[in-house]
Amino acid sequence: MSLLKRRGMIFPAFSIHGGVAGLFDYGPVGGRLLRKVQQEWREHWLSKGNIVEIDSPTITPDSVLAASGHISAFNDHASECNACNAIFRSDHLVEEFHQNPDSLSGPDLDAILTTNNVACPSCKESDWLASRPMNLMFGTRIGATRGGRQAYMRPETAQGMFLTYPMIQRHFRNRLPFGAIQVGKGYRNEISPRQGMIRQREFNMAELEYFIDPETDASHDFTKWDGIEFNLIPDPAGGQQNETKMGISAALNENIIRHPTVAFFMAETFDFLINIGANPEKIRFRQHESDEMAHYATDCWDLEMLGSYGWIECVGIAHRGCYDLGAHEEATNSKELRAWREFAEPIEIDKEVAAAVGAVIGPAFRQQAGLVTQALSELNDLPSAFPFDLNLSDGTTVSIEENMVEIKRVQETIRGEWFLPHVVEPAFGLDRIIWHILDHGYEMTEKEGEEYLILHLTESVAPYEVVVLPLFEKDGMDEVANQIQRDLLKLNGIGVYYDGSKSIGRRYARADEIGVPWAITVDHTTIEDGTVTIRRRDDQLQIRISQDDLAQHLQNGTLGSLY
Amino acid sequence: MSLLKRRGMIFPAFSIHGGVAGLFDYGPVGGRLLRKVQQEWREHWLSKGNIVEIDSPTITPDSVLAASGHISAFNDHASECNACNAIFRSDHLVEEFHQNPDSLSGPDLDAILTTNNVACPSCKESDWLASRPMNLMFGTRIGATRGGRQAYMRPETAQGMFLTYPMIQRHFRNRLPFGAIQVGKGYRNEISPRQGMIRQREFNMAELEYFIDPETDASHDFTKWDGIEFNLIPDPAGGQQNETKMGISAALNENIIRHPTVAFFMAETFDFLINIGANPEKIRFRQHESDEMAHYATDCWDLEMLGSYGWIECVGIAHRGCYDLGAHEEATNSKELRAWREFAEPIEIDKEVAAAVGAVIGPAFRQQAGLVTQALSELNDLPSAFPFDLNLSDGTTVSIEENMVEIKRVQETIRGEWFLPHVVEPAFGLDRIIWHILDHGYEMTEKEGEEYLILHLTESVAPYEVVVLPLFEKDGMDEVANQIQRDLLKLNGIGVYYDGSKSIGRRYARADEIGVPWAITVDHTTIEDGTVTIRRRDDQLQIRISQDDLAQHLQNGTLGSLY
């Protein structure tokens, strides 16, 4: 963290105003790293061809979050010390006494606190009030005047994809499977933020909701991952007790991974992380046990990355069934959250219907007669008695007498049905991933008897692709270096900075510390013949090439081929 | 707006839950348009070489916004109808009676309401209570437990750059000028949102803070804009009464634009908008009049774009002096918000100082003796009387007697000074810009006697670069089209979709409506010889080329050269 602060990567936000726990800035170097990780993530999914990106508001009205379950269930338990009134997350207090404390109920947490005489971290007494659930959403009100509407900062980006499902479905002309992604801020009003970047109050999320027809066999090609062994920790309830290494197809065939689309997204997520520089040995998948998983989920895997905080959940990949669309359908009566499934063969059925008798309905309901006729035609079952109440599409209810309808036998052809798609959701915590990419790339080595740091970042996420250094800021070397910087900046998407302060060794070291893959040096020979030296961060080898070749190879990403 | 909704560009958010005024979604087509505009904006500034990107939290503690002035001054006046209690923005109520109503004070607004008998839009009475200022920030609290801290959702991204100034300055090794950008959400709790996308409660901002030394002549090369006439509406106080067309250098030389860096950013902003497809005839710059401008600003121009709502402010370019950094310095006593200016020649000065007498200070202050000696050495002026109070760096104050110091004459060399940089800020409302890009690109034409819509978007921002269409979904044409889609998706950053539903004419029309520049059609000839037809949106001309050439030209952006 001290390196990250010193080199302008990431630092506690608002520090000149005293700081706020759980809020961080990405600085002049970290800002571009964050953008590049976001961009790589986007391209990874958008290049599948049946996935689109949306962008929805972070301010979310209460009715949405009541339907999604966040108002009732987005809680942590908090315990208050009866002696000093300090408040802590209950699961943090008991974590040395239980393997998975955030799955515990309030009474279970209280029992562990009491049985083990857990001491208050503030005053060392052990006298706890009963734990209480605390909602973790940031509340606000929409409308600057009285009578505003209760709202919250979104706890996840996922609701945006569920609520725009009608447009996504229309965009793909109802052809499942399809998905939508969203990259943006999520908010969680932590009781006591800790672990720096790992547990923030405002964080960068990236989520994908992939909509599938549960009755269609998911077809995924897993040959790409043949020969790759994944680190898996399956739910012990499945019979497999320990961490294991296994191919993705094998895990699916043995029903350890319970759905092919879940397996597909696990493997694709692995690929994404390797592409941005994660160490495959420091990635594992841990399956949720049934008491850990939301009741509606049928399979759920955490991708964990190993770093200075141990194994940390960085991605969750969950099969959420039709829970989310179903919850919004129930709350809103919207008819737009379904997909159409055509039957292989149309079904012909005979059924009895209560058909409207126009001569009675007309005079009885006048302007509403059309609505009554329509509502009768949409009844699924015959009325069990008369009179009965009939709900019309204008929201009113009318009473239907026996003489208003005629029971008829009709034949109907049913070509298909509307159903709630199922959802597989990979949800990424980008700040945690960035933390681990930095951790995995960090190599403390030695140079001339002193510690020397190299940050091995892939070109795809390095904050700058290249630094331009004049050997000295004199004899025209600085002007040439400035000109090379300007020329290279014209290349699309290439980040280039100029560094002229202090010795050339110090400047190489500064570039290595922030992971710049290539350093261009302008020296006396450059002034004579226009060539520059190129130094590769990872092995510090230098070669000399012309400025034209430099631009060409940088643009094509082929500088490495010269070595 | 109806096209935007229908085609998945932009639509009112949370609509299945009844909607919330002033909140919008970017849908499956609009999401990528937004991202591409953001990406173009970033690259435009980052390619200058002395500008970096940062990313800071949207949740902002109250002390920051008290220092910036937003808690006291981020208001609109609201008027309440005494008859029906409806509340409206006062400036909206009087806009037909004043040219620039949002510059008016509360009493002035009340006077106009009364004099003109302005009717309440709800109940048509004309009986207004005195207008009141309403703060427009969304409030929230940090900390899920009691004793949380008051905070607000940021009203602008700019504060992030001021607060991270110490890291930005360190990154650039104190070499002014330099700048930082931020792209992200801003929030404004409008009293009564209207005008759709133009006035949102949560919006996409993009701001640049450019830090300069006010004593260094700004050097900008304006030759790039020679021959370009800008539409300017100068402050009438400067003598120029009407809209005028003028080169940027001329406007600067005639002191209509009051600072070269303001002129530079006006011209660069113009370039950015043209590159993403704005119509230059529908862009003008309007200079703020002195009563419209914040008291600390020395020059301020609104870039306005013409569209269906008339001329709308889309960018503000302001010279903000040292107001922002100075306000945070005053609020926090931070010493990190300044830059160092070395004098051309060091200054030698003779001065009298009150030097500590160690033999007296030591016994008198013991452990604090060092701090006292230091504080005495930092005094700028000799004490005017004894004893006097001296503030130490540990926050305590001590009393200094006459015998504790010795008045000495010393010579000092001053090599430079710390000063507050000035700031020039271009602030962009991206949603408004996108609205106008769509407006400027919208062409309603005719085809076979029916209305036909073409959306002329530049490739740099078009939501998809290309659509792949099988002439029919049979005879293998759909498989080939799907394969072409997959192949093209491997090209970096190219968005490609497949469309197989309905007639080919309908599908061309749908692509033209959302601004897809190129349509690839797979027909029977494709099956025979592998060639495809390429149709250009803007003139609907078709050519036939091989699939290999297609990929090559798409990647290089050179498809147009084939025509």
> Which residue of B lies nearest to A337 if distances are taken between CA atoms?
B16
Q: Which residues contact A342 (CB under 8 A, 6 or more apart)?
A: A415, A416
Partner A contacted by B143 (CB < 8 A) = yes
The span from the CA of B30 to the CA of B38, in Å, is: 12
Q: Among A166-180, A366-380, B47-61, whose mean pLDDT is lowest?
A: A366-380
Angle at A280 between CA A276 and CA A284, to 5 degrees: 115
Q: Which of B384, B438, B31, B421 is nearest to B198 (CA)?
A: B438
For residues B236 and A561, which has the higher predicted lDDT (pLDDT)? A561
Share of chain A above pLDDT 70, in %: 99
Q: Residues B353-376: pLDDT tens digits?
A: 888 998 999 999 999 999 999 889
pLDDT at B461: 96
> Which residue of A lies nearest to B482 if distances are taken between CA atoms?
A49
What is the mean predicted confidence (pLDDT) over B466-470? Answer: 97
Inter-residue contact B368 to B398 (CB < 8 Å): yes
Contact B145 A78 (CB under 8 A): yes
Q: Among B167-176, B309-318, B395-404, whose mean pLDDT is lowest?
A: B395-404
Q: Among A24-33, A277-286, B112-121, whose mean pLDDT is lowest?
A: B112-121
What is the mean predicted confidence (pLDDT) over A43-47? Answer: 96
> Does residue A532 carry a pLDDT above 80?
yes
Chain B neighbors of A13, CB-CB under 8 A = 56-57, 163
> Does residue B523 carry a pLDDT above 70?
yes
Q: Residues A474-503: pLDDT tens digits?
A: 999 999 999 999 999 999 889 999 999 899
A residues 359-378 closer than 8 Å to B (CB): none
A166 to A56, A169, B5, B11, B422: CA distances (angstroms): 14, 5, 11, 11, 49
What is the mean predicted confidence (pLDDT) over A68-90? Answer: 89
> Does residue A348 carry a pLDDT above 80?
yes
What DSSP state is assigned to residue A196?
G
Contact A52 B489 (CB under 8 A): no
Nearest chain B CA: its distance from A6 CA (Å):
8
Contact B168 A27 (CB under 8 A): yes
Q: Residues A204-259: pLDDT tens digits?
A: 999 999 999 999 988 899 999 999 999 999 998 877 778 999 999 999 999 999 99
Inter-residue contact B27 to B10 (CB < 8 Å): yes
Q: Residues A137-166: pLDDT tens digits?
A: 999 999 876 668 999 999 999 999 999 999
Angle at B312 between CA B310 and CA B317, to 5 degrees: 150
> Which residue of B lies nearest to A59 if distances are taken between CA atoms?
B202
Q: Which of A419, A424, A45 is nearest to A260 (CA)?
A: A424
Q: How confident is the model at residue A290 (pLDDT cuts 50, 70, 90)?
A: confident
What is the mean predicted confidence (pLDDT) over B151-169? Answer: 97
Q: How confident is the model at residue B146 (pLDDT cuts 50, 70, 90)?
A: low
Q: Which of A432, A465, A453, A48 is nearest to A278 (CA)?
A: A432
Cα A342 vs. chain centroid, distance in angstroms? 32
> Which residue of B lies nearest to A193 if distances are taken between CA atoms?
B143
What is the mean predicted confidence (pLDDT) over B505-532? Answer: 96
> Does residue B547 carry a pLDDT above 70?
yes
Contact A49 B486 (CB under 8 A): yes
What DSSP state is assigned to residue B55?
B
The span from the CA of B343 to the CA of B76, in Å, is: 45
The span from the CA of B556 to the CA of A488, in Å, is: 18
> Which residue of A lies nearest to B5 if distances are taken between CA atoms?
A167
Chain B neighbors of A138, CB-CB under 8 A = 59, 140-142
Taking the CA of residue B147 as centre, how many other CA atoms within 13 Å lie in the half-sphere pointing to its CB? Answer: 5
Q: Please name every residue paired with B545 in a beta bridge, in sequence order, or none if there are none.
A: B532
pLDDT at B548: 92
Q: Which of A3, A16, A141, A513 has the most B C-beta neighbours within 10 Å, making it the best mutation to test the interface with B?
A: A16
The span from the CA of A202 to the CA of A138, in Å, is: 10
Phi, psi for residue B315 in degrees, rounded to 5: -140, 145
B507 to B24, B466, B519: CA distances (angstroms): 27, 13, 9
Q: How confident is the model at residue A16 (pLDDT cuts 50, 70, 90)?
A: very high
> Does residue A267 carry a pLDDT above 80?
yes
Inter-residue contact B483 to B474 (CB < 8 Å): no
User: In this complex, which of B16, B20, B46 lies closest to A495 when CB atoms are compared?
Assistant: B46
- What domains lie within chain B, and their CATH numbers? 32-57+159-323+424-430 (3.30.930.10), 75-135 (3.30.40.230), 345-416 (no CATH), 464-562 (3.40.50.800)
Inter-residue contact A387 to A284 (CB < 8 Å): no
pLDDT at B295: 76
Q: Which residues contact B289 (CB under 8 A, 6 or more apart)?
A: B100, B103, B235, B236, B237
Chain A neighbors of B58, CB-CB under 8 A = 58, 185, 202
Q: Checking DSSP bridges between strand B518-522 and strand B466-470, what pairing results, if any?
A: parallel
Q: Please name every residue paired with B299 in a beta bridge, in sequence order, or none if there are none.
A: B319
The span from the CA of A137 to the CA of A140, in Å, is: 10
> Does residue B378 carry a pLDDT above 90?
no
Q: Which residues contact B128 (CB under 8 A, 6 or more apart)?
A: B79, B80, B81, B82, B110, B113, B114, B118, B120
Contact B17 A163 (CB under 8 A): yes
The span from the CA of A342 to the CA of A339, in Å, is: 10
Nearest chain A CA: its distance from B36 CA (Å):
11
Query: Burial of B432 by CB count in 10 Å (0-12 exposed, 13-18 middle, 19+ buried)?
Result: buried
The span from the CA of A510 to the CA of B336, in Å, is: 22
Q: What do you get for the CA distance between the two ends of chain A, in Å?
A: 34
The span from the CA of A553 to the CA of B239, in Å, is: 55
A residues 453-492 closer than 8 Å to B (CB): 485-486, 489-490, 492
Any idea how long chain B is? 563
Q: Among A358-362, B382-386, B513-517, whose mean pLDDT is lowest?
A: B382-386
The span from the CA of B352 to the CA of B342, in Å, is: 24
Q: What do you get for the CA distance between the two ends of chain B, in Å?
A: 34
Q: Checking DSSP bridges between strand A388-391 and strand A397-400, what pairing results, if any?
A: antiparallel
The span from the CA of A26 to the CA of A334, in Å, is: 41
Tokens of B382: 């000799």
Contact B485 A26 (CB under 8 A): no
Nearest chain B CA: its distance from A177 CA (Å):
14
Inter-residue contact B109 to B95 (CB < 8 Å): no
Tokens of B353: 């100082």
Contact A47 B76 (CB under 8 A): no
Contact B138 A136 (CB under 8 A): no
The span from the CA of B19 to the CA of B23, in Å, is: 8
pLDDT at B118: 93
A residues 74-93 closer than 8 Å to B (CB): 76, 78, 87
Contact A29 B485 (CB under 8 A): no
Inter-residue contact B96 to B187 (CB < 8 Å): no
Phi, psi for residue B541 in degrees, rounded to 5: -80, 140
Q: How confident is the model at residue B395 (pLDDT cuts 50, 70, 90)?
A: confident
What is the mean predicted confidence (pLDDT) over A526-542? Answer: 96
Nearest chain B CA: its distance from A561 CA (Å):
20
Count chain A–chain B contacts defined by CB atoms under 8 A.
Answer: 268
Find which of A72-81, B20-29, B140-149 is predicted with most confidence, using mean pLDDT.
Answer: B20-29
Cα B313 vs. chain centroid, distance in angstroms? 12
pLDDT at A511: 97
Tokens of A426: 């990979």
Contact B140 A140 (CB under 8 A): yes
pLDDT at B2: 84
pLDDT at B382: 85
Share of chain A above pLDDT 90, in %: 77
What DSSP state is assigned to residue B464?
-
Nearest chain B CA: its distance from A184 CA (Å):
9
A325 to A59, A165, A180, A315: CA distances (angstroms): 20, 9, 14, 22
Inter-residue contact A78 to A94 (CB < 8 Å): no
Angle at B420 between CA B417 and CA B421, to 5 degrees: 110
pLDDT at B104: 87
Neighbours of A289 (CB within 10 A): 15
Chain A neighbors of B18, CB-CB under 8 A = 63, 332
Q: Which of B6, B145, B188, B555 has the most A C-beta neighbours within 10 Å, making it the best mutation to test the interface with A?
A: B145
Nearest chain B CA: its distance from A293 CA (Å):
24
